[in-house]
Amino acid sequence: MTQSIETITIPGLPFPASRIALGTWAIGGWMWGGPDDENAIKTVHEALELGLNLIDTAPVYGFGHSEEVVGKAVEGRRDKVLLATKLGLNWKDGKVFRDSHPERLRQEVEDSLKRLRTDHIDLIQVHWPDPKVSIADVARTLEDLRKEGKVLALGASNFSVAQLDAFRAEAPLAAIQPPYNLFEREIDKDILPYARKHDLVALAYGPLCRGLLSGKMTAETTFGKDDLRSGDPKFQEPRFGHYLKAVDDLKAVADKHGKSLLALAIRWVLDRGPTIALWGARRPAQISGVDEAFGWSLSAQDFQTIDEILSRDIPDPVGPEFMAPPDA
């Protein structure tokens, strides 16, 4: 176990959560080149050995497959693990759409409990807001499930401030899950200050920006048509070149601390507030280096240097909007 691991309290959960969580989108296989269950289970076990006690998954990751793999991997270790999953997305013929109707939410929780092989979900999160269903109805449904003991804490992913307000008017909110990384910082404007003000923990997804901040990509890196990044504007020229130039320059900031670029990217997220970084992995080797992200901090000068690099190297930045599923 990592000795210097940092933790944070999520209201309603039985013990503090590690400030790096294992993200399992890739474990589901869908949009990541297919599943690899043997390595996926080893990855979960490696994460737990390193002291990462929070695992974040979702039904839509592989259409139930990620949850099934996580459930198998944590069997016999459930009391040491915080399981976070999501609801509010549906699918038909491989097409994903938003669906937060109360009966759908209840069914999703039952399905997730079975796949995860557990009697309760520690943190349940609405994956995306559904414009066809009032947030009040969604919040009340989840609060009923919390009172029934099927879930312990409630969260919301990809919500605006107004939507968070609407949720909190009906039910206690413990956590939010927005996209957040060195390159995608929209939440600095309003969502992160809101989290600080209302004691919400922010689970930052994509802290390595789909691998861009791993430091392992080059101009020759390519992505298959079933890879999420083939449709991501950041990975199309000329933007890809701009982001790779920024990555090279950011390595100098990491080098100053004797750290990898990957550790710098995670540390940046952790230093921004009441945050948890979701570290996505599908093979054990992909979570090596967790130790490097703990036990140090970036200085005010580091933050300024990082900002200068981004404004110089990336003339046409773009956010993660391409990932939003259709409303219906």
3-state secondary structure (DSSP) of residue 66: helix
Omega cis (within 30) before 238: yes
CA distance 235 to 230: 7
Residue type, 23: G
Which tokens hold the place of 63? 């259409």
Neighbours of 109 (CB within 10 A): 22
Locate tokens 């609405």: which residue? 126
Neighbours of 104 (CB within 10 A): 17
Contact 174, 155 (CB under 8 A): yes
Which tokens hold the place of 73? 């991997």
* Best CA proximity match to 52, nearest among 101, 77, 79, 18: 18
Say which DSSP state 268 is in. Answer: H
Neighbours of 79 (CB within 10 A): 8
CA distance 285 to 71: 21
Contact 159, 126 (CB under 8 A): yes
* Best CA proximity match to 128, nearest among 89, 90, 169: 89
Active-site residue, 243 included: no
Q: What are phi and psi of 85, to 5 degrees?
A: -135, -170
- Which of 61, 194, 205, 243 is labelled catalytic? 61
Contact 263, 289 (CB under 8 A): yes
Active site residues: 61
